[in-house]
Amino acid sequence: MSDAADTRAEAGGRAGARTRRRARNLAVVRTVAWRNLHSVIRTPALLLPPLVFPLFFYMAFAGGLSAVGNLPGFGYYDYNAFQFVFVLLQSAAFGGVFIGFSIAADFDAGFTRRLFLAAGDRSAVIAGYGVAAVVRAVFVWAVVFAIAVATGMEVGGDGIELSGLVGLALIVNVAAFLFAAGMMTRMRTLQAAPAMQLPVFFILMTAPVYVPRDLLQGWIETVSRFNPATAILEAGRSLMAGDPFHVALAFAAAAGLGVALAVFARRGLRKAEAAG
Amino acid sequence: MSGATATAPLPRQALYLAWRSVIRTARQPIVIVPPLVFPLFLLAINASGLDAATSIPGFPADSYLAFALAFPFMQGALFATNTAGANIAQDIGTGFFNRLSLTPMRGASLLAGQLTGVLLVGAIQAVAFLAAGLAAGVTIEAGPLGVPVLFALSLIIVAAFGTIGLFAGLRTGSGEAVQGLFPLMFVLLFLSSAVLPRDLIAQDWFQTVATINPVSYLIEGLRSLIITGWDPGALALAFGIALAIFAAGLAASVAALRERLVRT
């Protein structure tokens, strides 16, 4: 056989190996995601909190504080919509964190270690959890959005702006998931759950949750100015209102956070692999 | 447990178990720290984030911090449900409860003892929340005499919610099931007049829920001492409801204890 034919055969072999590897990784992603979704569907205790909490917060904030929407200088068209965007982004972030619980529980049970042994590329295992996080979050958003609209929330944005809002929430969901995955691959136990919840809670709550930034006073006004969640929340609210405002900055902040947390998660995975 | 302990009169039995409960609580920072830190953190966020709400016509205070100071007292009390329930569920899970039931220890001692640790956390919380409020510039409108009344009401509320935790722990014997009560407690707290006075809640359905919710009256009693002064109506309602919850929780806990002892 000639050299050219050898090279072609070698290149074909490499391409085939790549395709097989990709197919194997996709199978791992699909299997891990399906297993997680299946266990959530079958266990109401896992399904309900991520669904009920956003609904509850929406009811409590939008219902209890609606008088705040009439304050001079509030300047947003609907307090329900104002709170809906916060709840959407909050559920996106905590949707990612809740998957961290699944990773930790699987580590506690020894299941993740067995998965790591079986998978050629361990990133595919983590990606599987990520896919489950996105599916779960989208389901929660659909339910909360339907209930919010049914109970009188006004939507100012058009389809494109709402798609932008959902896109922003998806990036937040993935970023929070990567953070949770990074924490849990380092800690590898459910006991460390507060270590992933507290920073997310702190970042979300120090953004302008109840009123726009102009009406904030004291230390939270200063903190919110430097908090990346502020840009994301404000852009989300502007998209909801149909009046986009520093959307590119918000996407850049969310994507930057996502990239940094992807590195964090990857290093966590290496630590988990090294720990055996 | 020594034979002397087992045959001791009820107050001494309660004292032994109370001491155990206090030691156990003191040895678990995880039981003490979150009920202190979370409410203070939320207070700091709400006080700054919602300060603009004081501009709503008819708002009863000049400072939202003063208005919101009752919130951590109530939130801390709700944590008591979990602490009390988790402790007794742990005793059931580890078999300590079974061993105790073989002694002549009386049920009332067991319940009183378990509640003591929870009351200790409640007392630490009350001091910390009040100190934080005063340090941030809040003045107690009821004056110095209002402080012991605030502490007394706060501890009765802690004991009341502690008995609910005891009931859940005794009934289920599962720490996980007790933890499941936390979201319910959270709902009770947020669907109340915790963040705005009832008459300023604009949504009718929310105002109705807040009016039905007993937590509203507990918070309003605590808050009245801080922002109003002496309001006999608000205090009577708060003390009355706290005592009623305590009595109902205790009766349910005694019944659950009896049932648990029969099963044991």
Of A66, A194, A208, the CB nearest to B202: A66
Q: Which two tokens stand for residue A94?
A: 């905590």
What are the residues whose beta carbons fall under 8 Å from the beta carbon of B184, sequence distance 6 or more? none
Place of tokens 């809640």: B201
d(CA A155, CA A162): 9
Task: Find the closest chain B residue to A213 by CA distance.
Answer: B49
Name every chain A residue with its beta carbon within 8 A of the beta carbon of B201: 63-64, 66-67
d(CA B213, CA B227): 21
HEC per residue, A1-36 = CCHHHHHHHHHHHHHHHHHHHHHHHHHHHHHHHHHH
d(CA B161, CA B157): 6
User: What's the predicted TM-score (pTM) here?
Assistant: 0.81
Name every chain A residue with its beta carbon within 8 A of the beta carbon of B45: 205-206, 209, 220
> What are the sequence ranges of the domains in chain A?
3-275
Determine the pLDDT at residue A97: 86
The CA–CA distances, whole Å, from A170 to A112, A128, A154, A224, B64 equal 25, 16, 22, 22, 35
Check residue B228 and report its DSSP letter.
Answer: I
Start-to-end C-alpha separation, chain B: 18
* Least confident residue range of A4-8, A28-32, A65-69, A249-253: A4-8
List, in sequence order, the alpha helices (H) in chain B: 3-6, 10-26, 29-49, 64-68, 70-94, 96-101, 107-135, 146-172, 175-179, 181-190, 204-212, 214-223, 232-263
Q: Could you tell me how many residues make up chain B? A: 264
**Complex ipTM tops 0.95:** no
Best of B28, B50, B186, B215 to substitute, by most chain A Cβ atoms within 10 angstroms, is: B50
d(CA B160, CA B182): 15
Q: What residues of A are in the B interface, CB distance below 8 Å?
A: 45, 49, 52-53, 56-57, 59-60, 62-68, 70-72, 194, 202, 205-206, 208-211, 215-221
Residuewise pLDDT in 10s, chain B (264 residues): 444 444 567 677 777 877 887 787 777 776 677 778 888 988 998 898 898 899 999 999 999 999 999 999 998 888 888 888 888 888 888 888 888 777 777 777 788 888 888 888 889 889 999 999 999 999 999 999 999 999 999 999 999 999 999 998 888 887 767 777 777 788 888 899 999 999 999 889 999 999 999 999 999 999 999 999 999 999 999 999 999 999 999 999 999 988 887 765
Q: Tens digit of pLDDT for each residue in A85-108?
A: 999 999 999 988 888 888 888 887
